[in-house]
Each structure stands twice: as structure tokens, then as C-alpha cells.
Structure 1
Amino acid sequence: MVSTKRSSAQRLRDSLEDDIINGRRKPGERLDPEELGRAFNVSRTPVREAFQHLVASGLVTVSPKKGTFVASVGLDRLIEMFEVMAELEGMCARLAARRITETELDALQVAHRRCEAAALAGDTDEYYYENERFHECIYAASHNTFLALEARQLKQRLKPYRRLQLQVRQRMRGSLAEHQTIVDAITRGDAAQAEQALCEHVLIQGERFSDFAASVHRLQAQVDSTG
């Protein structure tokens, strides 16, 4: 399987996301653009683009004339955002089940197979990016541009935490099985089942909530112990 090509800004962003959510960069820490440019051997433009994405994700904040700093996001706020994300994506799936074209359905099935290949390879990063394509196919198939835009914007803010979820043992396999249920419902034109399946796929509840909360608390404890 050929890996998804990623820009310098995307690779830098992914690295910074990992450092932040894994506690290697602490809340309040200033990010030096020149130092990052040297460390990653990139110009100022990719660094600036990476910062823009991190601001959109809520992982960093920009203080005029002071610089860019690592932000702190509480678990309660994250759960609220995932609740809204689940509802938005559920709506997309419901509309997609009613409106998807044959060409769009083919693209969704291809995206699902690419997720399957990444899962079989055990590549969580590759799975994440193929998973983005999968969800994007559903947004497009909803044929509601306003809804799709809102879903994309919130998904961008939750990106690092959705990646963190995939690091939980067996989560990638579970995610793939959930994808199959979603694809089957959309293929049948079962709008209610498609909406429910995608909502549950995104929503953090039950054992998934416990696993996610444990991961976030563990990372926070690591930050506090080194503070």
C-alpha cells in the first residue's frame, strides 16, 4: 500500500499535535517558528501553515506581539464537541442514504477498502487519513453544502483527539467494523440506520469514553509531573 503523500506543513503539524496531546509540549509553552523550521528543515511558510491548522484545532493560541503558545483543552469541553460532531455527521449520513449517486457510492466503497488496507497494515496514521476520505465522501453525498462545511470545521478542531482515539488498543479494528455498518446502511438507502450508525461511530460513550478519558487524564498527569 502506498502511503498518502503529506506536505511539509502537514508533517510538521502532525508532529506538533503528537507532542502536545502526549504531553511533550506543555500548556503555555511558546512555539518558536525559527527553531521548528531548523528542526524540520522547512521554510517559514510550512511553519506558518502548520500553526494556522493548530489554531483551528484549538491546540495553540496566538498572542499578538508575544507569539504562539500551546493551549489547554478540558475533557468536558472535548466531550461536548464530540457530541455535536456525532449529530452533524449523523445528519450527513441520513441525507447521504437518500441522496447519494452511484458515482459517490463507488467512491465511498473505495475509501472503505483503503481504510481496510491501512488497518490490516496496522498503520494508525495512514488509517486516520484514509478515514478522513471516508467521512468526506459522506459529507459530499449529503448534498448539503452548509451542513458539510460545519462538519468539516468541527472535524478539523477534533482532528488530534480523533487520532488519539485510534491509538487505543483494538480501536482501529472496531472503527473499520463500524464503517462497514455505515456503508451497508447507505447502500440500502436506510437513512435512519445510517444516521444512527455514524452517530454512534463518532460519539464517545460507554467503554470508549472510559478509554478516552483515561488517555487524556494520563497525558495530563504526565504534564503535571514534569511541570
Structure 2
Amino acid sequence: MAEEIFDTLVDGIVAGRMIAGEPLIEKTLAEQFGVSRTPVREALHRLEQSHLAERGARRAYFVSQMKACDLAELFEAVGEIESALAALAALRLTEIERQQLLQIVEQGQSCGTDPEAYGQINARFHDAIKTGARNPMLARAFDELNLRALAWRAANFHEDIDRLSTSRAEHEALMRAILARDADTTRMLMRSHVASSFLTLSQVLARRST
């Protein structure tokens, strides 16, 4: 239940249905979801870890104010770490893993315009690269930052339908560089891929503010 509550709250925050400063009251949420306060408390703690919620007076939670400049710094950090993982993956993926990556890209090309389906395929694509890099320390650093960025990255596909086509093209270019074992090009393309995700998100936030 804590996972379901967390996912529901993340969806509401990222989609803009829950605004910055909105209180997140344990009792109210427990009644809303029909559960005890324990899973609600766990979900709120995860939101705080993800920097989507903060604690104020009397340790009460509220929705965080996420500014474009904060997201820019976050995405820059994610891009630097994930580009390092991608460069390593280009050199370390086994042949079986390379073929699996090719299949994931093909599935992304054929899943239509369903943002939920593509979001799941997108997560598998990035996870395959992280795993293939075979560097647990970099992977842990990436996971910590990506916990804060993942919901925003996924929101792109719901908020801007054009992002599906550009993401597909970027995935294919990354896949080709990885199959060619071209670490330098892979690193550059992954950094650009994460930057493109942020630029789309910044446009979404700008539209909301107006």
C-alpha cells in the first residue's frame, strides 16, 4: 500500500494536480486511501527522499516547490553520471545484452502513442544500460539522483506527445553507438538525451506557470 500511495501522490504532484505548498496530512490521506497511517507515513517519507515533499512546522509534510533552476542542476547531475554509465556499457555489454537492448528499442518504436507503455519501455532501456555498465558504485549514485528525476522524466511523455518521437530517435542513436562499441559517442549522446528530457520538462513547467 505504501508503494501505491507513493505512486499516486507522485502522479498528482508531477501532473500538477497537487500544487506547491499543498499540505500532505497523514490522517486525511489515510482516510482517503482506507488504510492506517503507517503506509501513508512510509509514502510521505519516500516523497521527502525524492525531494517532492518537505517537512514544515510540527513536522507536517507539504508539496515542495520545484523550480526550473533546481531541476536543471538535477538533470545535469543525472546526465553526467548516466553518460559515464552508458560509455562503460558500450564497452562491457555482452552480445546477448546488446541484442536485448536492440529488442527494447524496437519495442519502443512499435508501442504507438501510449505514454504509459512507452514510459515502461523507456525505464527498461535505461536500466539495461545501467546494468550493462557493471559499475555498482556509479549505479548507486545514479539511482539516488534518478529517484528524484524519474517521475519528472516520465511526465514528459504524458505532457508532450512529441517527446515520444524524439526520445525514440535518441534511443536508436544511443543503441547504434553502443552496438558499435563507440564509448565517446555514446557518452555524448546520453548527455544530450538527458538534456533534451529537461528542456521538454522546462517547457511543460513554463506552460503551467502561465
| TM-score category, normalised to shorter length | 0.7 to 0.9
- Residue aligning to 1:116: 109
Q: Distance in 2 between matches of 1:60 and 1:107?
A: 37
- Alignment equivalent of 1:56, drawn from 46, 49, 53: 49
Deviation by residue 1:83-115 (Cα, 9 ceiling, x = unmatched): 121111111111111111123323323433443
- Alignment equivalent of 1:88, drawn from 81, 86, 90: 81
Return the letter of the residue paired with 2:192: E
Deviation by residue 1:123-169 (Cα, 9 ceiling, x = unmatched): 21232232112111111111111111111111111122112222213
Matched ranges for 1:146-185 at <5 A: 146-166=137-157, 167-185=159-177
- Residue aligning to 1:28: 21
- Residue aligning to 1:187: 179
Q: Distance in 2 between matches of 1:45 and 1:129?
A: 29
Q: Distance in 1 between matches of 2:106 and 2:53?
A: 34
Does structure 2 retain, via aligned residues, the 8 Å contact 1:82–1:204?
A: no
State the Cα distance separating 1:29 from its structure 2 match.
1.9
State the Cα distance separating 1:42 from its structure 2 match.
4.4
Q: Classify the secondary structure of the residue corresponding to 2:170.
A: helix
Q: Distance in 2 between matches of 1:200 and 1:82?
A: 11
- Residue aligning to 1:5: none
Does structure 1 retain, via aligned residues, the 8 Å contact 2:20–2:65?
A: yes
Does structure 1 retain, via aligned residues, the 8 Å contact 2:153–2:201?
A: no
State the Cα distance separating 1:43 from its structure 2 match.
4.7
Q: Classify the secondary structure of the residue corresponding to 2:161.
A: coil
Q: Distance in 1 between matches of 2:65 and 2:41?
A: 20
Q: Distance in 1 between matches of 2:103 and 2:73?
A: 32
Does structure 1 retain, via aligned residues, the 8 Å contact 2:88–2:133?
A: yes
Q: Distance in 2 between matches of 1:41 and 1:9?
A: 12
Q: Distance in 2 between matches of 1:179 and 1:145?
A: 23
- Alignment equivalent of 2:135, drawn from 108, 133, 144: 144
Note the aligned Cα RMSD (angstroms).
Answer: 2.3
Return the letter of the residue paired with 2:55: V
| TM value normalised by structure 2 | 0.86
Q: Distance in 2 between matches of 1:177 and 1:138?
A: 17
Q: Distance in 2 between matches of 1:12 and 1:110?
A: 32
- Alignment equivalent of 1:76, drawn from 42, 63, 69: 69
Does structure 2 retain, via aligned residues, the 8 Å contact 1:23–1:220?
A: no
Q: Classify the secondary structure of the residue corresponding to 2:166.
A: helix
Q: Distance in 2 between matches of 1:133 and 1:81?
A: 21
Return the letter of the residue paired with 1:54: L
Does structure 2 retain, via aligned residues, the 8 Å contact 1:58–1:71?
A: yes
Distance change in 2, residues 1:202/1:63 (3 Å): same
Return the letter of the residue paired with 2:194: V
Q: Classify the secondary structure of the residue corresponding to 1:27.
A: coil
Structure 1, gaps ≥5 residues long:
1-7, 222-227
Structure 2, gaps ≥5 residues long:
none
- Alignment equivalent of 1:215, drawn from 185, 204, 208: 204
Return the letter of the residue paired with 2:202: A
